[in-house]
Structure 1
Amino acid sequence: MTMSPEITPEERTALDKALLDALNPLASALRSRVTGLPEHRMWDADPVEVTLSVLATWKVLDARVKHLTATAAGTAGAYGASYEQLGAAWGITRQGARKKWPDAVGARPATPPATLELFGGKAELTQSHTSGTWTWQARSADGTQGPTTPTPPHPTKEEAAAYAGAFLREHASQD
């Protein structure tokens, strides 16, 4: 079971610096849009307004971190992690993880296969219910079925479609 990692004071200092370095350009851009002032003049305003704009920018960053955290939990769940494992990684109970990420663990909703018709052939793209990856099967215009050799699953439907399309093009009828 994975436990929530602790960081050293040096790592915390480096992380704080990296986050502040990343935050400053965003804070300047957001403040510029709100005030109409150029970004390089962000710090010339009333200190209360400047610090409130920084706080508002942290809110934007916090929302993105929550989204990315939920995505990571869902990805771990799609690969088979349990709520107990998610909770251990986050430093909370299994019940806390289930409450925080209610859709992270369990069967993925069934995605209907997608059909691709190109170059006189037809391919079917199918998503795995467990991993979320995509595979394809095709019959080309010249009658060849593919893929002709085993291929690894693709992370996106678009990538699977690109491989299927290349196969259909390669085996297009030459009439």
Structure 2
Amino acid sequence: MGSFEITPEEQAQLDKALHDALNPLASALRSRSSGLPEERMWEADPIEVTLSVLAAWKVVDAEVKRLTAIAAGTAGSYGASYEQMGAVWGITRQGARKKWPEAVSRPAATAARTSGVFELCGGTAEVVPDPSSGGWRWTGRGADGTHGAAEAGASYATKEEAAAHAGAFLREHVPGRA
């Protein structure tokens, strides 16, 4: 990954663009708090004017943080790791995880989408993700040798629901059960 340093010319352009965007906001904030028209903002007490500018930067800072979190979430949704995001931001992997806790899917969530095999009443069943529906399906073999599966076209919303149906099938197919 390349360097994300900016040139002095780019820094000057960025400073100008930020100040150009900030001035109307600072003027509006100062006008609301003082009752002076926006065009007379700079005629007010210098402390009041500079506090208006500081208040405007606070608004910009909050918006930058919001947009940064969105950008981190987008990067995470495309597969970027906390290590990669931290490197870009100049912080550690742990720092990135703390800064944007929802940006990267947890490994546990990925594991939850994996197949699972279980045994019950002497039979075996497997639950698997159904890519066509986003749900879950099951197949099984009862202890009496009977094969079974979710009905054609059936898909269950959760892994646990598919496992419950598979478990019911296994309980019905025990040798000698009447």
TM-score (norm 1): 0.58
Aligned to 1:121: none
> For residues 24 and 73 of structure 1, what CA distance do their matches in structure 2 show?
28
Aligned to 1:35: 34
Aligned to 1:58: 57
Name which one, 1 or 2, has greater alpha-carbon Rg. 2
> For residues 3 and 92 of structure 1, what CA distance do their matches in structure 2 show?
16
- For the structure 1 residues 63 and 4, does the alpha-carbon distance in structure 2 shift closer, same or farther, using more than 3 Å as the test? farther
> For residues 26 and 44 of structure 2, what CA distance do their matches in structure 1 show?
13
Where structure 1 has 5 or more consecutive residues not aligned to the other structure, the ranges are 110-127, 129-175
Q: Which runs of 4+ in 1 moved over 2 A?
A: none
Is the contact between residue 4 and residue 91 of structure 1 (CA under 8 Å) also seen in structure 2? Answer: no
**1:68 Cα offset (Å):** 0.4
**1:9 Cα offset (Å):** 1.1
Aligned to 1:103: 102
Give 2:31's aligned amino acid. Answer: S
Give 1:10's aligned amino acid. Answer: E
Aligned to 1:68: 67
> For residues 76 and 47 of structure 1, what CA distance do their matches in structure 2 show?
43
User: 1 or 2 for the larger relative contact order (CA 8 Å, sep ≥6)?
Assistant: 1
Query: SS in structure 2 opposite 1:106?
Result: coil
> For residues 4 and 57 of structure 1, what CA distance do their matches in structure 2 show?
30
> For residues 7 and 13 of structure 2, what CA distance do their matches in structure 1 show?
10
Aligned to 1:12: 11
CA deviation string 1:66-119 (max 9, x = no partner): 000001001111111110111111111111100111111006x9xxxxxxxxxx
CA deviation string 1:35-64 (max 9, x = no partner): 111110110101111011101110010000
Is the contact between residue 83 and residue 97 of structure 1 (CA under 8 Å) also seen in structure 2? Answer: yes
Is the contact between residue 3 and residue 91 of structure 1 (CA under 8 Å) also seen in structure 2? Answer: no
Q: CA RMSD in A?
A: 1.7
How many residue pairs were aligned? Answer: 108
Query: SS in structure 1 opposite 2:36?
Result: coil
Query: SS in structure 2 opposite 1:62?
Result: helix
User: Which residues in structure 2 correspond to 1:7-156 (within 5 Å)?
Assistant: 7-106=6-105
**Alignment identity in percent?**
77
